[in-house]
Amino acid sequence: MNGRWADVSLTQPEFARYSRHVIMPEVGLDGQRKLKAAKVLVIGTGGLGSPLALYLAAAGVGTLGLVDFDVVDTSNLQRQIIHGTADVGRSKCQSAADRLRDVNPEVQLDLWETHFTSKNALDIVKHYDIVVDGTDNFPTRYLVNDACVLLNKPNVYGSIFRFDGQATVFDPRVGPCYRCLYPEPPPAGEVPSCAEGGVLGILPGVIGCIQATETIKLILGIGEPLIGRLLHYDALNMTFKTFKIRRDPKWAVGAPHPTIKGLIDYEEFCGVRGGASAAQPAFSGSDITPEQLKKRIDAGENLFVLDVRNPNEFQICRIPGTVLLPLPELPTRVTEVPKDREVIVHCKSGMRSQKAIDFLKAQGYTKLVNLTGGILGWADKVDPGMVRY
């Protein structure tokens, strides 16, 4: 953008490829040249990054940067449509790049196979006109926001959880930023990750396509972008609602006393203790490993093993002898948990069990132990034949 498109021309194969764009008055030849000149950074090639990167490449965005450090896992394939079964175990960046080159070999791809951190964010973002946030955790969302604010770059935002999705455009030049919507992060562990709470596989397709649409509108300078408006999508009820977001001037770089002056430690800011991830939280209190628990169960100790997952998860797999009491029901059924026995609490990976322990401690329970790694740890260390999900 920034006038670069004036020097861009289309080849005959590109005219054929983009003919349905070029004949639209809102796009036309100049619009397609703007798309070819544009440089867009996609952070994350997962659920949101998959559809938005595919459509941006197909639309003819000239340069796409992809940021992802992860590898493809089988559990990704339910929603991350840019990857396939043959890609399991491969770098997500490499897998996505192969698919995008097949969709449109005319697009230049910049692969950033690294963690997006406070140390490299500004050096990466500065090369692009627009940033599209396809991440799934609060520390990175705040990092993306602050980098875009400092560099005056539009940030096309999306988020998903279960059946709900959100999308907006944070443009620090003319509108609010992510901190205007969420000045402070939620308490650590308050919002479950998709790995803990699940997500409808189709949902990121809808939100990712909305992000791609907003990105193309920004490049072309057409329509009314979602600046200052948060779009909420409820897939269960098939409803879309928009909410106004007010710009808080204290977050603007050009403010008399700007709050965002540089990048910080975002894991510390979001209360992620010791850099632990949502899937592997840092525990407070006593822990027990799966191997230790198995030895104590085999020894016939009088343990109360409490499973706080949801009933549908309990149907998939369970540790023999455990008692199911879903976390949402714990406050009304707490008397079912004995106070005179040692209580071993577990969930899928450890986040919900720690919340259960915190609640039980407040009710006067003292003999509480958290199973390290949850039932996934049990499957890894004790029962490799257990079904994983």
Catalytic residues: 194, 347
Radius of gyration of the chain (CA): 24
- The 3-class secondary structure across the chain, one letter per residue, is CCCHHHHCCCCHHHHHHCHHHHCCCCCHHHHHHHHHHCEEEEECCCCCHHHHHHHHHHHCCCEEEEECCCECCHHHHHCCCCCCHHHCCCEHHHHHHHHHHHHCCCCEEEEECCCCCCCCHHHHHCCCCEEEECCCCHHHHHHHHHHHHHHCCCEEEEEEEECEEEEEEECCCCCCCHHHHCCCCCCCCCCCCHHHHCECCCHHHHHHHHHHHHHHHHHHCCCCCCECEEEEEECCCCEEEEEECCCCHHHCCCCCCCCCCCCCCHHHHCCCHHHCCCCCCCCCCEEECHHHHHHHHHCCCCEEEEECCCHHHHHHCCCCCCEECCHHHHHHHHHHCCCCCEEEEECCCCHHHHHHHHHHHHCCCCCEEEECCHHHHHHHHCCCCCCCC
Give the number of other Cβ atoms within 10 Å of residue 13's Cβ: 10
CA distance 198 to 161: 7
Task: Identify whether the C-beta of residue 306 lies closer than 8 Å to the C-beta of residue 325.
Answer: yes
